[in-house]
A = this chain, B = another copy of it.
Amino acid sequence: MLDAAAEVVRTDGVSGLTLDRVAEVAGVSKGGLLYHYGTKRELVLAMLDRTLTDADETLDRLADESGRTDGAFAHAYLEYVTSGMHGEDDGAAGIFAAAALEEGDLSPAQAQFARWQERLLDDDGIDPTHALLARVVGDGLWLIDLFGLAPPSPDQREQLADLVMDLIERGMGSSLT
């Protein structure tokens, strides 16, 4: 059902996110939809929650797989948006819907981003400014993809990520030179 809701946002936009439409795409009656999510707000919050949970798990996994001791999370953060692994199944639909609809409540997203930021700045073993750079670059690419605002090519993205990771590796142990 959350998949269906995300798909509706992708195809019809946030304003097309109606209970009827979600039910239709999910292959469920409206009654059945409302049986699980008593209100539209609940549905949107569930979308948001799933988006954040998925992203968090993916970041964890990527950080793990990177095999680094320092900068693992920064690397994961960049990798997440550099490769087109987000935006596929549900992407930013949850966040976007929550932000646009009055029934939304972005505070879970704000808390999640604050947690990521904390982890980057305090626990990733790299220069805080470099950590912030990784975060902002990641978020920037995400925004650009979300709105399709002249997205850079995969090559450009990779060079950009390499540049930032180079910086981070070089800057370890010392503040910015």
Contacts and interface: CB of A to CB of B under 8 A. Distances in A.
Given A136-B137, A139-B143, A160-B136, A12 B149 contact: no
Interface residues of A, number: 47
Nearest to A177: B166
A159 B131 CA distance: 12
A26 to B, nearest CB: 21
B110 A163 contact: no
A23 B95 CA distance: 29
Contacts of A133: 137, 160, 163-164
Main secondary structure of the interface of A (DSSP, over half): helix
Given A13-B100, A13-B102, A150-B114, A163 B139 contact: no
B106 A148 contact: yes
A129 B155 CA distance: 10
Identify the interface centre among A128, A129, A142, A149: most chain B CB within 10 Å of its CB. A149
Given A117-B150, A129-B160, A102 B140 contact: no
A156 B120 CA distance: 14
Interface string A121-151: 0000000111011011111111110011110
A109 interface: yes
Interface in A71-126: 95-96, 99-102, 104, 106, 109-110, 113-114, 116-117
B113 A150 contact: yes
Interface in A149-177: 149-150, 152, 156, 159-160, 163-164, 166-167, 176
Interface of A: 12-16, 95-96, 99-102, 104, 106, 109-110, 113-114, 116-117, 128-130, 132-133, 135-144, 147-150, 152, 156, 159-160, 163-164, 166-167, 176
